[in-house]
Amino acid sequence: MHCRQSLFISIVFSTFLFFVAPALSAQITSQQKIELTQKEDSLTPLAKLIIQSEDASVRFRSDSLFTRMLVRSLRIPNSFYFPFDSLTTVSRLYSPDSTFRIFTWQVSRDEQIHRRHGAIQMKTTDGSLKLFPLIDRSNLIVSQQDTVTNNEWWIGSIYYKIILKEHLGKKFYTFLGYDEHSIRSTKKRIEVMHFNENGSPIFGGVFFNFSQDSILQKDKSRYWIEYKKNGNARLLYDEEMDLIMVEHLISETNEPVKKFTYIPDGDYEGFKWIKGKWQHIEKVFNFKLEDGQAPAEIPLNKGG
């Protein structure tokens, strides 16, 4: 139960902290709101069972029922504008430009095997449903840092933040995500998504650049940190500095090949959006933070 409880806490925190409803919610009618509220009342207990049930068979059955019922709910016209506030164990994020929203959640067989599920709901002019299911193929994708995927080959995460950036007139959406991963370690991931010419989502691409590092690395399609279970490593976006902040990790046992030994050391690295890529900054601050402190000083490298 320990993994499921930590996931539950993480999702609840992320949902309430980062959920933003679109400003155009007035487009939904009173009757549609009544229908959607009724659907939500049925979805809520299923969503909780996916996380909280002690029985794996109940979790998987609840997940199957929840998925089918959610799709039926989203087929109600103008469902895009209904927040589904009661689904506190499901991450629900609107893009900063309110062109889509993304649902992500997780079902666990045990403390070692986890599967993520999700869907991208597009905003449509007539209120009809346009949905891209997210199919977690993490266990089939060997080179995850270098692979470009689509919604049917998704590297599953529970997303807690979307950052909108533009380059050459095209929009790119950067997701910050959480992955329960295993009984010994947790992952947090940064991944860029854009829509292709057909309007379909594409995940990954050569968006992470390390050309300014002291030790040269090749560009990557996605970036993540892996650390000791409950190590509480931070990966967040600082609006004021316009930086993705990543807490630096070290092996507490001096065994760098064992990611489950990694813990935060109080220092921060980061990423700055420059010319269509996230440029890696090896050391954001010129000092290490003491326990309990949050990033507050002027970064060494502001980028541009």
The pLDDT of residue 215? 84
More confident residue, 171 or 230: 171
SS3 118: strand
Residue 289 has pLDDT above 80, yes or no: no
- pLDDT per residue over 91-140, tens digit each? 999 999 999 999 999 988 866 678 899 999 999 999 999 999 999 998 88
Domain count, the chain: 1
Confidence of residue 216 (pLDDT cuts 50, 70, 90): confident
Please state, as a whole number, how many other Cβ atoms lie within 10 Å of the Cβ of residue 244.
Answer: 24
Is 131 among the domain residues? yes
Is 259 among the domain residues? no
Q: How far apart are the first and last CA of the chain?
A: 45
Beta carbons of 297 and 267 less than 8 angstroms apart: no
User: Which residue do the tokens 């600082």 mark?
Assistant: 238
Is 234 among the domain residues? no
Domain that holds residue 109: 2-205
- Which residue, 40, 60, 41, is CA-closest to 49? 60
What average pLDDT score do residues 81-87 get? 96
Beta carbons of 51 and 158 less than 8 angstroms apart: no
The pLDDT of residue 266? 87
Residue 240 has pLDDT above 70, yes or no: yes
Is 263 among the domain residues? no
Query: Can you say whether the dihedral through the CA atoms of 83, 191, 182, 185 is positive or negative?
Result: negative
Is 271 among the domain residues? no
In the chain, the percentage of residues whose pLDDT exceeds 70 is 84
Is 106 among the domain residues? yes
Is 172 among the domain residues? yes
Is 296 among the domain residues? no
CA angle, corner 206, sides to 204 and 212, nearest 5?
135
> Pairing state of beta strands 131-135 and 114-122?
antiparallel
